[in-house]
Amino acid sequence: MSTLLLSLVLSASAGASPAAAPVEVPLTFRTFREWDVSLPAEQFLPLGNLLPLFGTDGLAVGVGEGGLSFDRDGDGTFDATVADTDPEHPTRLLTFRLNTDAGVRDFAVRAANQGRWVFAPAGAVEGRIGKTRFLVFDQNGNGRFDDYGQDAMIVGRGKAAGFLSRTVVVDGALKSFSIEPDGSAALISDFAGETGKLDLGVDLETRAKLRSVVLIDEATQNSFELSASLVSEGGLDLPVGKYTLHSGELVLGKSHATLATGRAGAIEVTSGSTTSLAWGGPVKAEFAYQRSGGQLQVGPSDITYFGRAGEQYSDFMPLGSSPQFVVKDRATGETLVDFVFPGNC
């Protein structure tokens, strides 16, 4: 006991300030009646005999020709039905208010009949600390909100999510983040690890707007959506680690493209230094083709684009300003054919 007391006295006399106590933030469920969120790995999952909802053994589901039936109170009798979807309304919003051991809980999913019934999240648990709002989504659909690197989260006012992360940026400062499995509360404290700066905007060449840019370090379970920070001079403080450029979306007018890792290597953030990345344009294209009657047949969907860092772009739809494609003989360098896509491709 005396040794411990001496240690505390010495620390105080050296002028060290005690770490701030973690802050517990209560969370409430928010239903998105109009789904306008971009998740980093969204997928519709098969809906079987049980719908995973935390605090239940799984909500019993009956699949029939006319739609879905649910046992909402767990008494063994189906007491709610949802009619089958139709072409004009392919996705249905399903909301639930259930009595669980933790009290009354709200849930929401989107359901669709794609030959078989599937579901995806239609809501998130929401909280706020300081001026920063955050949302956590059960992206992998297992009924839990604490699957780091698999579930999703939005920190701030945007609509684009990264993966659920052990570290978040709150009011410009790095914070350690944890969440209860049932999504009832989050625990936030000052981040105490080593940091470096990442500047993704200084050497980016693009005319498009980046709607989302998601990085993830699977080893540390840290993930950040950085589209709003690309204009920050000098970069953003992040925990040290090796980050993968996971996904994103670019928009230019009515056109858009999706971003994937492709051949891009890891982005290493090291302690006390600034890391930058040369990415974006100029973009190189690779395409698949078919030979037919001495002609090459190529369509816009056959082409894959790679940026300077090896990142992959897809879903480009050329509109009036198609790039020019040239096919040359490998041995002689002679141009065999060149082409562009018409403006209505």
* Confidence class for position 10, pLDDT limits 50, 70, 90: very low
Count structural domains, the chain.
3
Judgement on whether residues 246 and 180 belong to the same structural domain of the protein: no
Judgement on whether residues 216 and 250 belong to the same structural domain of the protein: yes
Residue whose structure tokens are 């230019």: 252
Last residue of a domain, one of 171, 190, 209: 190
Compute the mean pLDDT over every residue in the chain, rounded to the nearest whole number: 86
Q: Tell me, what's the pLDDT at 107?
A: 93
Least confident of 218-232, 249-263, 319-333: 319-333
Judgement on whether residues 205 and 332 belong to the same structural domain of the protein: yes
Show the tokens assigned to 291: 């030979």
Least confident of 40-54, 162-176, 241-255, 282-296: 282-296
* Confidence class for position 33, pLDDT limits 50, 70, 90: very high
pLDDT at residue 316 greater than cutoff 70: no
- pLDDT tens column, 189-235: 999 999 999 999 999 998 889 999 999 999 999 999 999 888 777 88
For residue 183, tell me if it sits in a domain: yes
* Confidence class for position 159, pLDDT limits 50, 70, 90: very high
Judgement on whether residues 113 and 212 belong to the same structural domain of the protein: no
Q: DSSP 3-state assignment of 229?
A: helix
Judgement on whether residues 242 and 274 belong to the same structural domain of the protein: yes
- pLDDT tens column, 101-158: 778 889 999 999 888 899 999 999 999 998 999 999 999 999 999 999 999 999 999 9
Judgement on whether residues 140 and 287 belong to the same structural domain of the protein: no
Average pLDDT over every residue of 238-244? 98
Output 218 or 64, whichever has higher pLDDT. 218
Last residue of a domain, one of 190, 217, 236: 190
**Residue 284 CB contacts under 8 Å (≥ 6 apart), including other chains:** 305, 306
Whole-model pTM: value is 0.86
Judgement on whether residues 212 and 243 belong to the same structural domain of the protein: yes
For residue 314, tell me if it sits in a domain: yes
Evaluate the CA torsion angle 242, 126, 142, 259 in order and state its sign. Answer: negative
Judgement on whether residues 49 and 172 belong to the same structural domain of the protein: no
Q: Tell me, what's the pLDDT at 1?
A: 38
For residue 16, tell me if it sits in a domain: no
For residue 269, tell me if it sits in a domain: yes
For residue 17, tell me if it sits in a domain: no
For residue 142, tell me if it sits in a domain: yes
Domain range holding 38? 30-122
pLDDT at residue 317 greater than cutoff 70: no
Last residue of a domain, one of 190, 221, 237: 190
* Confidence class for position 343, pLDDT limits 50, 70, 90: very low
Output 8 or 235, whichever has higher pLDDT. 235
Least confident of 39-48, 275-284, 296-305: 296-305
For residue 222, tell me if it sits in a domain: yes
Judgement on whether residues 198 and 344 belong to the same structural domain of the protein: yes
Q: Tell me phi and psi for residue 2, to 5 degrees.
A: -65, -35
Q: Tell me, what's the pLDDT at 345?
A: 36
Output 282 or 342, whichever has higher pLDDT. 282
Q: Tell me, what's the pLDDT at 12?
A: 37
Judgement on whether residues 38 and 95 belong to the same structural domain of the protein: yes
pLDDT at residue 253 greater than cutoff 90: no
Radius of gyration of the chain (CA): 25
* Confidence class for position 296, pLDDT limits 50, 70, 90: low
Q: Tell me phi and psi for residue 136, to 5 degrees.
A: -125, 130
* Confidence class for position 252, pLDDT limits 50, 70, 90: confident
Judgement on whether residues 216 and 183 belong to the same structural domain of the protein: no
Judgement on whether residues 100 and 50 belong to the same structural domain of the protein: yes
Report angle CA 263, 265, 269 to the nearest 5 degrees: 155
What's the CA gap between 26 and 13, in Å, rounded?
A: 36
For residue 87, tell me if it sits in a domain: yes
